Each structure stands twice: as structure tokens, then as C-alpha cells.
Amino acid sequence: MSKGVHHALSVQAGDLLTIDKDRRWQEVELKLLRKSGDGSSFVLVAIDTQEAAVARVTGTHVKVIPNIYSGQSGKRYQTKNASLDSFFADTAKTVASVLSETDRIIIFGPGETRRRFYNTLDKNGLPKERAQVVDGVDVAGEDGVFVFLRSPAMKEVMSDSKLATVSAMLDRVMLMVNRGENKFAMGLKDITEAANAKAVESVIFSDSIFKTADEDAVVKMLNSVEGYNAKTYAVDSSTDIGLRVSSLGGIVALLRYAMR
């Protein structure tokens, strides 16, 4: 298939699939692939008495598993409810299905349910020593996951993650915009000019940039900034942080000094 051509394939579990780009991978592409596996990864659990959502954060990619429901009625008066023990066990099984040997577990949500679930981790076969309960996020389910990823708690608890790093960088850019500072650039044209002047400190780009810009030009620019040790971060346009980058033209750079 040539560039720009689309085709649908049916692929099932167990099928062998090979993607051939019909050329040698460039060094900048190999670096991006290698770095995508670096850094800490986390499993998030947004839980209350009625629902829970589990998500895995790897680099800047977030994979959310659909809600698990407890069957609790949510009524304030006494009703016949399903056991929370069963609900916690189901949630723990979902966590175990995505948990790797080095993942940290972060649990949050309204009320005391998050702490009650944390206290059952050992019983349900999860490593309690790698888990942490976080306060300040009072929303459960899938909405709770996205609220957490936009919260100050995320930047504090996941400070060593790429997601927190990229989020902090975008916050710096928006602060500069409000202050009228010029130590940033948006769009491929301006960032390429900054890259040629070796003024780029770090670049964040969404995969959406390849829909509007020439792929070879993007790769050439990234290769250029990598050459003088500037940082590059790729984000998924399907995530909240990726949408933020996409709304800024698909690519943003922090500069070592103002270009104008």
C-alpha cells in the first residue's frame, strides 16, 4: 500500500501480522519507539460503592477499561444490595489482568470506598506494597479517571511519569501565552525555524500532526532536535492530553530562548 491509501483488514486473535514500511527505519523513529517503553507505568482505579473503572497509563498513552458495576442501589435507606466483597474481587481481577511486574496502583474516588478496596488487595492477590490511595478526586468510574488525569494529584503522585511531564510542559506553555512570553513555538513552520537555530528545548507532538503536515518534514525536524539533545514526546490524539496538543496545531515546543 502506498502512502495516503486506506484499506480495511480483518484481524483476529492469534493471526500473524507484519507491517513493512518498505524502507529502513530512521534513527529518530527508532529512538521514539525505544523511548515509548521507558519510564514508569501505572494502573488507576476510580472506585465508589456503585462503580469502578480501571485504566493503565504507559508513557503518554491511557487505556481505559469500561466500568465495573457493584449492583448497589445507592439508596440512603436500607435495601438488599449485592456484596461489596464480590465487587472488590471483580475489580481486583480486572486490575490483575492489566498489571505488570513494575506497575504502581493508584486508587481514588469519593468516600471511604477507595480505602476499603485498598484493604482488600492482599486478599484478592494484588501487591499492596505497590498501591497508593489518593485523596482529592471525588469522582468514580471512567469520568473519575479523566478527572484524575487533569488534577494536581496526578502531577504529584505520577511526577516521574511522561504524562505528568508533558502535562506540566503544556501548563508552562499556556502560562507563557498569558504572560506574553515568547519562549515557545507552535506549528511545524515556527518550530522548524527554531530547530534550525538550535533553540528548541523540548517538543510535544500529537499523531494528528501527520494528517496536516508532510511526514518527511516532521521526521526531519525531530531528527534535527534529537541531534542536539532536545527532548521529544509523542502523545496519542485519542487521549485528553493529546487533544490539548492537537488543539494547538498538533505540535508545540518549549524554547531555550525567545526567537522574537
pLDDT score, position 9? 75
Site of grid cell 502560562:
175
Per the CB < 8 A criterion, the answer to whether 124 and 94 are in contact is no
Strand order from edge to edge, sheet including 51-58: 61-69, 51-58, 41-47, 104-108, 131-133
3-state secondary structure of 20: coil
Q: pTM for this structure?
A: 0.70
Cell matching residue 179: 504572560
Q: Which residues pair with 65 in a beta bridge?
A: 54
Largest Cα–Cα distance in the chain?
69
Site of grid cell 528545548:
201
Backbone angles phi, psi at 241, to 5 degrees: -70, -35
pLDDT score, position 196? 92
Q: Indicate the pLDDT class of residue 161, thresholds 50, 70 and 90.
A: confident
Q: Which helix (H) or strand (E) holds 149?
A: helix 141-149
Q: Which residues pair with 231 in a beta bridge?
A: 202
* Domains of the chain with bracketed CATH: 41-72+81-157 (3.30.420.60), 172-255 (3.30.1330.30)
Cα distances (angstroms) measured from residue 5 to each of 109, 228, 237:
45, 35, 21
Q: Indicate the pLDDT class of residue 211, thresholds 50, 70 and 90.
A: confident
Single-letter residue type at 232: T
Q: Using one digit for the tens of pLDDT, what is the confidence trace for 17-65?
A: 777 766 677 666 676 666 655 557 899 999 999 999 999 988 778 889 9
pLDDT score, position 79? 46
pLDDT score, position 7? 72
DSSP secondary structure of 176-229: HHHHT--SEEESHHHHHHHHHTT-EEEEEEETTHHHHS-HHHHHHHHHHHHHTT
Q: Using one digit for the tens of pLDDT, what is the confidence trace for 141-153?
A: 999 998 998 888 8
